Amino acid sequence: MRIDKFLWCIRFYKTRSVATEEIKKNRVSIGNSAVKSSKEVKEGDVIKIRKNQIDYKIKVIQIPKSRLGAKLVSLHIQDVTDKEQYELLKLRKMSQDYYRIKGEGRPTKRDRRDMDEYVGNDIASDFTDWDDFFGETADITENED
């Protein structure tokens, strides 16, 4: 099976074209050599993939016949990625939280909706009829003529 199709089948990439693009950018290799999209994958190969600034390593146990469900992926590959790489990923995710602490800066769409719900729409509920709302100003302008 071609490596681009294999990476798509095991759900490492969402589409086959995305897998092909990543291979062209030399982010996928078998052993220590970069590969092309047409490279055939065999059982026992160790594939190195650079994704999200993490170096993943997967060992091919079995070649799937078609795209797999997420639960069946573990039957076909074995994750041999270093634990340090996952720790780096965890640190990066935690460091992104410092950008905006809750309650700081410009309100998000969710914050705005919560504020609107809290404040309520009192003006619209008080004046159900626009004629009543504008009635006072209409009386004033008629008296001036």
Residue 24 is part of a domain; what is its CATH number?
3.10.290.10
Of 128 and 46, which is predicted with more confidence?
A: 46
Residue with tokens 């490279």: 39
Q: What pLDDT, on the 0 to 100 scale, is given for residue 31?
A: 83
| Residues with Cβ within 8 Å of residue 128, at least 6 apart in sequence | none
List pLDDT tens digits, range 55-99. Answer: 899 999 989 888 888 888 888 888 888 888 888 888 877 776 555
Any domain includes 129: no
Q: What pLDDT, on the 0 to 100 scale, is given for residue 94?
A: 76
Amino acid making up residue 3: I
Dump strand ranges (E) for the chain.
28-30, 33-34, 46-51, 54-60, 77-79
Total domains in the fold of the chain: 1
Any domain includes 144: no
Return left, alpha or beta for 11; rule: phi > 0 is left, psi -120 to 50 is alpha, else beta: left
Any domain includes 123: no
Any domain includes 102: no
CB 11 within 8 A of CB 67: yes
Q: What pLDDT, on the 0 to 100 scale, is given for residue 57?
A: 92
Any domain includes 35: yes
Any domain includes 71: yes
Range of the domain at 53: 3-81
For the question of whether the overall pTM of this predicted structure is more than 0.85, the answer is no
From 24-38, 52-66, 93-107, 122-136, the region with the lowest mean pLDDT = 122-136
